[in-house]
Amino acid sequence: MGASVKPQQQGGGRRSRRRSRVQAQAMSEINVTPFVDVMLVLLVVFMVAAPLMTVGVPIQLPETAATPLPTQDEEPLTITLAEDGRVMIQTTEVASDALVTRLRAIMEERSNDQLFLRADGSIPYERVMQVMGALNAAGFNKIGLVTEPGGPTLDGNG
């Protein structure tokens, strides 16, 4: 990888003088290989780190064998039901009685009526269904339930 110096010949001929002049000139080409290497490393780092930067409230999601939904063009709207009963739109806490009003205002701004509902596994089913009813009343008809992969398949194999 290192540079080497070619020893000059001890002859006094015309050729040796020409070679020494060529070797003394500065190299005017830019070597882009190190730049490309650094950019590829940065690309890999960001590809690995991007999924870890999702904004959300830490909750214990239930595990299922469902397949993930395809991605959309618009940032998905996320509603979170925390273990202590708090309701959050993205990361902003919202009172339960103001949820429908806030969601209707958001629905007017969005082109997509899909959202994701993240509910802690310890939340009663009745409470999850109440929030889903509020989401539907606000105009959101495509509600995706967020879970952790790797849960039971209920087919006798896992």
Tens of pLDDT, residue by residue over 23-42, are: 567 777 888 898 999 999 99
SS3 annotation, 108-157: HHCCCCEEEEEECCCCCHHHHHHHHHHHHHCCCCEEEECCEECCCCCCCC
47: pLDDT strictly greater than 70:
yes
Looking at the domain assignment, is residue 69 inside a domain? yes
More confident site: 52 or 144: 144
CATH code of the domain covering residue 109: 3.30.420.270
Task: Report residue 56's pLDDT band, with 50, 70 and 90 as the boundaries.
Answer: low
Return the higher-pLDDT residue of 84 and 52: 84
29: in domain: no
Is 77 inside a domain boundary? Answer: yes
Has residue 38 been placed in a domain?
Answer: no
Cα(30)–Cα(39) distance, integer angstroms: 16
Number of domains making up the chain? 1
**Given strand 87-89, what is the order of strands in its sheet?**
92-94, 87-89, 77-81, 114-119, 142-145
- Look at residue 99 and tell me if it is in a domain: yes
> Is residue 43 in some structural domain?
no
* Confidence tier at 13 by pLDDT (50, 70, 90): low
Give mean pLDDT, residues 39-51: 88
Residue 92 lies in a domain: yes
Tally of CA atoms within 13 A in the half-sphere of 90 that contains its CB:
9
Give the predicted TM-score (pTM) of the model. Answer: 0.52
Q: What domain range is 132 assigned to?
A: 56-149
Task: Compute the distance between CA of residue 75 and CA of residue 56 in angstroms, rounded to an integer.
Answer: 13
Range with the largest mean pLDDT of 16-30, 35-49, 59-73, 132-146: 35-49
Is 46 in a helix, a strand, or coil? helix
Classify residue 103: in a domain, yes or no: yes
